[in-house]
Amino acid sequence: MTAPALSADQSERSKGDNKDPTLTSISERLSSGSDSEDSDDDGLAKNPFLDPEAAARWKQVYEDAQYECRHVFDPTLTWTEEEEKVLVRKLDWRVCLWACVMFFALQVDRGNLSQAVSDNMLDELGLNTNDYNHGHVVFLISFLLAELPSQLVSKKIGPDRWIPIQIVLWSIVAISQCALTNRTNFLLTRALLGLLEGGFIPDIVLWLSYFYTSRELPIRLSFFWTALSVTSIITSLLAFALLRLRGVAGWGGWRWLFLVEGLITLLIGLASFFLMPASAVQTKKWFRPKGWFTDRETAIVVNRVLRDDPSKGDMHNRQAITPKRLWNALKDYDLWPLYAIGLIAYIPQNPPGSYMTLTLRRLGFSPLTTNLLTIPAAAAHIITLLGVTQLSEHFNERTFISMLQPLWTIGPVFALKFWPGLIDDRWGTYALVTVLLSYPYCHAILVGWTSKNANNVGSRTVSAALYNMSVQLGAVGANYVYQDYDKPYYPHGNTKLVVINCASIVVFLLTKAYYVWRNKQKDKIWNAMTKEEQDEYLRTTKLRGSRRLDFRFAH
């Protein structure tokens, strides 16, 4: 390759008419008409550091921030597409795979309650379904409250240190659930799990963003959330085995479930101390003297990420978020539409999913059969999740592809409300819930979308937490949709799900319209400026993130 190095996603972006309008600096791709100027602008769009002024400006930013990778920043570095493909595969095996394993640990310890209740846990602790709901709500509120503080701690000490600490601590609490005796310690352990697990997902997203470009991140996040469904399958099979231990040492099967699965996640937490490098330039340790990459590979990893988003180097990975940066991120109203989506988009499928094992038990299935029957929905969920994320990347479209989720769920949700065979036809009810829970999960797209539109490391750290907090807040509300007085058909609850499902479609459309309008608004101001005024703005502006006039929102 003779031209300056391009990342694979940037090469794709330059083809045809499907160019991504959300490049960091649009001024560098404005042209005055000649073919040579068009070619120069195209090169600048692919590598903004070809402009000597831009390269000097960002180099100074990285020096001022003490960015940990600044010594390998090289605006002239080139590499081949084949080199990059090989390197991305290595990143997938080293970075993305372990991120999925850690997410497995999260999902095991926050999700195995649904398997435990299939083994008469509620009856043995003297609890009812309202207590079960309260347990979920206590967990979610604790999870929500811990999101932002966890992100601030992670940014200060580094996600490579904080995440393993989180996993070890919550695993200890998860193990302690094998000794539950009453409602009080049930609610206490749910609160502790929420506090310790809160912030884990944004922390992982922050860590992954150090290694992947903005176009690559949603696909890797889809692998990440595929682990959710894989975990459901694995834990259902584990539950099938562990619940058979009922009576051993005088314990119920659900106690063995908490003990064994907590020990598994504890081992993952301990291993994470050794398998999470702080950055691409920090993979060499006493226990890994050769590191993961050659010097050339390290330079490629760093420079391709910076060319995709130069702002990723404006803070170092042990730098705390200042109160001013925190406040600026909190009041960034341009990201609020994405938080609104997070608030309501995942509610329609939440109650049927949370109640699936209880519903199957009510339909007459045994505890062991119940856990096996949850597997088909989890397997289908993997396929639709990967499919919808690949579609988003292929068409470079976020809103309409993400809308496939509420469009999928609206039919089954209407059936829950109006189908006369609900509950009475047990296999029909099982099929209906399975189709509903096989929905194309748009969460990976939304997380990547939020990260892209934050356009700044500090804002990205906070916005990831705020987005996830909105999701958790929606989940809190979802736990009050199905009430004990409404069972077993939940007519009032299902009416609420129909309304919320329709509302989520409207919110997606309004979000699309908002970002189109905001980009046109910025275009109008930017295009009214002369080239000299644009250059002066780029040199002197103190604005960060999405507030900059040269930034365009993804949608």
Question: pLDDT digit of tens for each residue in the chain (555 aa)?
Answer: 333 333 333 333 333 333 333 333 333 333 333 444 444 455 555 788 888 888 888 899 899 889 899 999 999 999 999 999 999 999 999 999 999 999 999 989 988 888 888 888 998 999 988 888 889 889 988 988 898 888 889 888 999 999 999 999 999 999 999 999 999 999 999 999 999 998 898 888 889 988 998 888 888 888 877 887 788 888 888 888 898 899 899 999 999 999 999 999 999 999 999 999 999 999 998 989 999 999 999 999 999 999 988 888 878 877 777 777 778 778 888 999 999 999 999 999 998 988 887 788 888 888 778 888 888 988 898 899 999 988 998 888 999 999 999 999 999 999 999 999 888 888 999 999 999 999 999 988 998 898 888 877 667 778 888 888 899 889 888 888 888 888 888 999 999 999 999 999 999 999 999 999 999 998 998 899 888 888 888 888 777 777 888 888 989
Who's near 349: CB < 8 A, 6+ residues apart? Answer: 409, 436, 437, 439
- Provide the CB-side half-sphere exposure for 145 (13 A, CA): 12
Q: Which three-class secondary structure state does DSSP give residue 285?
A: strand
Q: Which three-class secondary structure state does DSSP give residue 424?
A: coil
Who's near 278: CB < 8 A, 6+ residues apart? Answer: 68, 158, 160, 317, 318
Cis peptide before 488 (omega within 30 of 0): yes
Q: At what angle do helices 531-540 and 52-65 cross, to 10 degrees?
A: 10
Residue 73: what pLDDT? 94
CA distances, 84 to each of 74, 87, 224, 290, 378 (Å): 16, 5, 21, 20, 33
Taking the C-alpha atoms of residue 345 and residue 470, their distance in angstroms, rounded to an integer, is 10
pTM, to two decimals? 0.77
**Contact between 267 and 114 (Cβ < 8 Å):** no
Residue 45: what pLDDT? 58
Who's near 60: CB < 8 A, 6+ residues apart? Answer: none
Residue 5: what pLDDT? 37
CA-atom Rg of the chain in angstroms: 25
Task: Provide the token pair at 512.
Answer: 């699309």
**Contact between 41 and 29 (Cβ < 8 Å):** yes
In single-letter form, the type of residue at position 29 comes to R
Tell me the per-residue pLDDT of 180-193, one tens digit each, with 9 for 90 and over: 999 999 999 999 99
What are the DSSP calls for 272-286, one per residue?
A: HHHH--SSTT---BT
Tell me the per-residue pLDDT of 288-320, one tens digit each, with 9 for 90 and over: 999 999 999 999 999 999 998 888 887 887 777
What are the DSSP calls for 124-135, one per residue?
A: HHT--HHHHHHH
Residue 43: what pLDDT? 54
What are the DSSP calls for 516-552, one per residue?
A: HHHHHHHHHHHHTS-HHHHHHHHHH----GGGSTT--
**Contact between 504 and 341 (Cβ < 8 Å):** yes
Residue 275: what pLDDT? 95
Q: What are phi and psi of 288, to 5 degrees?
A: -145, 65
E strand map for 436-490: none
Residue 37 CA, distance from chain mean position: 39
Burial of 503-512, coded b for 16+ CB within 10 Å and e otherwise, reads bbeebbeebb
DSSP state of 320: P
**Contact between 213 and 305 (Cβ < 8 Å):** yes
Q: What are phi and psi of 276, to 5 degrees?
A: -125, 90
Other residues' Cβ atoms within 10 Å of the Cβ of residue 42: 14
Who's near 465: CB < 8 A, 6+ residues apart? Answer: 147, 148, 150, 151, 199, 202
Q: What are phi and psi of 285, to 5 degrees?
A: -135, 175
Taking the C-alpha atoms of residue 370 and residue 359, their distance in angstroms, rounded to an integer, is 9
Who's near 420: CB < 8 A, 6+ residues apart? Answer: none
Residue 44: what pLDDT? 56
Q: Which three-class secondary structure state does DSSP give residue 288?
A: strand
Residue 408: what pLDDT? 97
Task: Provide the token pair at 384.
Answer: 């639709």
